[in-house]
């Protein structure tokens, strides 16, 4: 069976506000996502194209030359984002390895985010969940995936960089 990997994860607000994707959260997630993609060798990846984890996942997929399905919840998802984020979003969508799929018609409605999430889970054989355990859309997507038969979920705690850092730079012992 060919592997198709989707992602769910936090927006920058839960990732130390790393809107420029520079910092320990972004670096850690990029490294862990890359490892999963290299290990699993998917034929395609799926991103919901939101700010944060979705964007990092899309960037890593394209860096590895993996075809990407951009599962866009509705047209204009990016319209309220900062210009720099909109520019990155459009660069990703215009990449030759990207195919776009508009999941829902019409304007913004918060329910469309979960419909998009369910579409991604249904289309994938593996879901990478970059989740710190908090309430929100990522949790809703994970809960949906957990209810599906034969759906593999690979969890990455975005706080894991702190553990990695503690192993690299252990606190000095006083005694």
Query: What phi and psi, each to the nearest 5 degrees, are found at residue 130?
Result: -90, 90
pTM of the model: 0.92
The predicted-structure confidence for 116-170, as pLDDT tens digits, reads as follows: 999 999 999 999 999 999 999 999 999 999 999 889 999 999 988 888 665 645 5
The closest of 97, 11, 18 to 62, measured between CA atoms, is: 97
Taking residues 32-57, report their average pLDDT: 98
Q: How far is CA 99 from the centre of its chain?
A: 16
The predicted-structure confidence for 51-72, as pLDDT tens digits, reads as follows: 999 999 999 999 999 999 999 9
Tell whether the model's pLDDT for residue 172 goes beyond 70: no
Tell whether the model's pLDDT for residue 98 goes beyond 50: yes
* DSSP 8-class letter at 93: H
* DSSP string for 109-145: -THHHHHHHHHHHHH-SEEEEE--S-SSHHHHHHHHH
Taking all residues of the chain, what is their mean pLDDT, rounded to a whole number?
93
């Amino acid at each position: 069976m060919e592997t198709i990997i989707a992602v769910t994860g936090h927006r920058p607000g839960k990732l130390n506000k790393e809107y420029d994707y520079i910092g320990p959260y972004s670096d850690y997630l990029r490294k862990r996502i890359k490892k999963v993609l290299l290990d699993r060798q998917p034929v395609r990846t799926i991103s919901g194209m939101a700010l944060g984890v979705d964007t990092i996942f899309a960037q890593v997929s394209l860096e590895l030359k993996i075809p990407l399905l951009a599962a866009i919840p509705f047209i204009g998802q990016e319209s309220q984002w900062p210009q720099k984020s909109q520019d990155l979003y459009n660069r990703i969508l215009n990449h030759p390895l990207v195919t776009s799929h508009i999941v829902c018609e019409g304007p913004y409605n918060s329910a469309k985010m979960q419909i998009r999430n369910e579409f991604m889970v249904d289309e994938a054989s593996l879901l990478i969940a970059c989740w710190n355990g908090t309430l929100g859309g990522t949790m809703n997507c994970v809960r949906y995936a957990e209810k599906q038969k034969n759906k593999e979920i690979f969890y990455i705690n975005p706080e894991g960089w702190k553990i990695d850092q503690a192993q690299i730079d252990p606190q000095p012992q006083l005694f």
